Chain A
Amino acid sequence: GDYLQTSQGQIISSKPNYQQILEQQGEVLSCMELVFNELQQTVKLLQ
């Protein structure tokens, strides 16, 4: 809260949630896992 009074207060206050960003990438990778499972099954079926 004190940062708002400083020269770059707004920038500091608008800091993104980097932890959340990294957690989202975890979701991306889980999604990709599903995609590849599907692909694998499809290829087996086609074989």
Chain B
Amino acid sequence: SVNPMVYEAQFFGFTPQTCMLRVYIAFQDYLFETMQVVDSVILKKLDAIPNCKISPSEIRKSTEKFLLFMKEHFEKLFGKMEEVLLQLVLNIPKNVLLPEDKVQEQYPYSKEQLQALQEEIQQLQQQYRAEAAAGQALRAELEEQKAVQAELEKILQWFDGLDNICREHGISNFKESFAFLTQNSKKLQELLKDVEVKSK
């Protein structure tokens, strides 16, 4: 049932109980030290008084009596002080969220939700890598296409060149020209036959 006051420790840098303990020990030490001084001062004064019938042990007993009395009251009063300080001064009310923890209310992510988010991120990274590789593949194909197109256009140009040569030499239509030549050579052959027959 002891409240460790960890949230307060997060804010202050120390637990309130540690602080109160420090104060308690320091106050108690001062009380004892001061009483010790009182005791030694009285004993010194006694030494200076001639024929003094008061013994040092008597003084010691008186000091102890007074110290005991003071300690009792000290404990009671300190207890009350501690209670007030722990409840009202060195505490963070339940409804208060420290500024550094605002993110906990803005992003209340459970472990599972966070895992899902991390998995989603991993997936996106994989997708991006795949798209990047796909982009490279597409660009590589574009380069390949340039080379292939260049070759095909060269062949087409060659065909156009053939057509130009034919045109330059007056052959607009090879088929027709060959048909014409074949016909003519057939005619020539027939003429030759005719001439041979007539000369015989």
Contacts and interface: CB of A to CB of B under 8 A. Distances in A.
Q: Do most interface residues of chain A lie in helix, strand or loop, or is the interface mixed?
A: helix
Contacts of A34: none
Interface string A6-42: 1111011001001001100100110000000001001
Interface residues of B, number: 20
B130 A25 contact: no
Nearest to B126: A5
A42 B178 contact: yes
Contact of B133 (A2, A39, A46): A2
B185 A18 contact: no
Contacts of B130: 2-3, 5-6
Contacts of A29: 155
B155 A7 contact: no
Interface stretch (B4-12, B43-51, B136-144): B136-144
A43 to B, nearest CB: 8
Interface in B121-163: 127, 130-131, 133-134, 137-138, 141, 144-145, 147-148, 151-152, 155
A22 B137 contact: no
B68 interface: no
Interface in B102-124: none
B144 A18 contact: yes
Contacts of A39: 174
26 contacts: A2-B130, A2-B133, A3-B130, A3-B133, A3-B134, A5-B127, A5-B130, A6-B127, A6-B131, A7-B131, A8-B138, A9-B134, A11-B138, A12-B134, A12-B137, A12-B138, A12-B141, A15-B141, A18-B144, A21-B148, A21-B152, A22-B151, A25-B152, A28-B155, A46-B181, A46-B182
Interface of B: 127, 130-131, 133-134, 137-138, 141, 144-145, 147-148, 151-152, 155, 174, 178, 181-182, 185
Given A3-B133, A8-B138, A12-B141, 13 more contacts: A2-B130, A3-B130, A3-B137, A5-B130, A6-B131, A7-B131, A8-B134, A12-B138, A18-B144, A18-B145, A18-B147, A29-B155, A42-B178
